[in-house]
Amino acid sequence: MSTVTIASNHADAEAAEKVEQHHAEMAGRLDLLTADVVRAARTGHADSARQDLLSWLRDELVPHATAEERTLYPAARQITESRLLVEAMLAEHVLIHRLVADLEAASDPVEVAALARALETVFDSHLAKENDQLIPTLVASPDYSVAEMLAGMHELLGGRADHGEDAQPADVAHGGHQCACGGHDEAGLPELDVRVIPHAIRHATIFGALDGLRPGAGLLLVADHDPLPLLAQLEQRTPGAYAVDYRDAGPDVWRLELVRRA
């Protein structure tokens, strides 16, 4: 985890770790989808990218928020020091739902891009509160078992939380860039600068971004070291799914082009 968390038991510590990893995957995916919408809006043709984003919002983000309201939030509300935090996070859920509805109704490309960016910003802020405040408070309490609350809940733990061999990428986006990136390189590839992503969630964020690529699409990964462990984990997770080409190989910066094979 990106913050120091004291858990009341090992099972809760593992559950908290899985939640944060799933959050990182979701953030990576949303940032790519949002960047796709913004890029398409510049050409005046953002509807396809908007539909891709809306599909992910309906299938992933909205069920995630609903699951939180059924499990984590009622428990956190019973802890005095987190009551106001829960109220604030519920208010953010209302705002997220409103932005999704506005995005469904929007047709002007500029408005679509603005709504997508606003949604991305609210969601990133929301996840930070969960990772840094809500989850640590819950796992530190001996009165609640986060592991039991989240048992079997795909919406909160993710279907690929272990990044194993059976994980399958989802075809939801053409490309885009994560919020930590520098935009696009000269060839038009989205650029993901992992140097500013906390190490504990770095791989999960990258996997979330890569899962959002359709066959033939890619991104430019920027790192401060040769990411051989990441590449090995990626190959184990999705064997042969990505072509890798080194553009720069140190000594200070490594740039790798990763393209999803058809």
Please tell me whether the overall predicted TM-score, pTM, comes out greater than 0.75 for this model.
no
Tens of pLDDT, residues 184-241: 444 567 778 888 777 777 888 888 888 778 888 888 889 999 999 999 989 998 899 9
Would the CATH topology of 10-157 be identical to that of 183-260?
no
Which residue is associated with the tokens 């956190």?
A: 76
Q: Are 32 and 190 in contact (CB under 8 A)?
A: yes
Q: How confident is the model at residue 91 (pLDDT cuts 50, 70, 90)?
A: very high
pLDDT at 188: 61
Q: Look at domain 10-157 and name its CATH class.
A: mainly alpha
Residue type at position 249: A
Rounded-to-integer distance, Cα 50 and Cα 112, Å:
7
Of the candidates 213, 238, 204, 211, which has an alpha carbon nearest to the alpha carbon of residue 20?
204
SS3 assignment, position 49? helix
Whether residue 113 has pLDDT greater than 50: yes
Find all residues with CB under 8 Å of 26, minimum gap 6, and list them. 60, 61, 64, 123, 127, 158, 208
**Distance from C-alpha of 26 to C-alpha of 13, rounded to nearest angstrom:** 20
Q: Read off the DSSP letter of residue 1.
A: -
Q: What are the tens digits of pLDDT across the range 169-179?
A: 333 333 333 33
Cβ-count burial of 76 within 10 angstroms (0-12 exposed, 13-18 middle, 19+ buried)? buried
Place of tokens 């960016």: 117
142-165: pLDDT as tens digits: 888 878 877 766 556 565 433 333
Distances (CA, A) of 254 to 91, 123, 220, 247: 41, 29, 10, 8
- What 8-state DSSP symbol labels residue 215? T
Q: Is the pLDDT of residue 140 over 80?
A: yes
Q: Give me the CATH topology for the region 183-260.
A: Translation Initiation Factor IF3 (3.30.110)
Over residues 125-129, the mean pLDDT reads: 90
Query: What is the per-residue pLDDT for 156?
Result: 61
Looking at residue 166, what is its pLDDT?
A: 39
Q: How many other C-beta atoms can be found within 10 angstroms of the C-beta atom of residue 80? A: 7
- The whole-number pLDDT of residue 154 equals 58
Asked if 39 and 176 count as a contact pair (C-beta separation under 8 A), the reply is yes
Continuous H helices in 58-108: 62-70, 72-77, 83-105
For the chain, the structural domain boundaries read 10-157, 183-260
d(CA 223, CA 209): 15
Q: Is the dihedral of CA 189, 195, 198, 203 positive or negative?
A: positive
Q: For residue 34, what pLDDT is reported?
A: 86
- List the one residue out of 69, 260, 74, 94 whose CA is nearest residue 170: 260
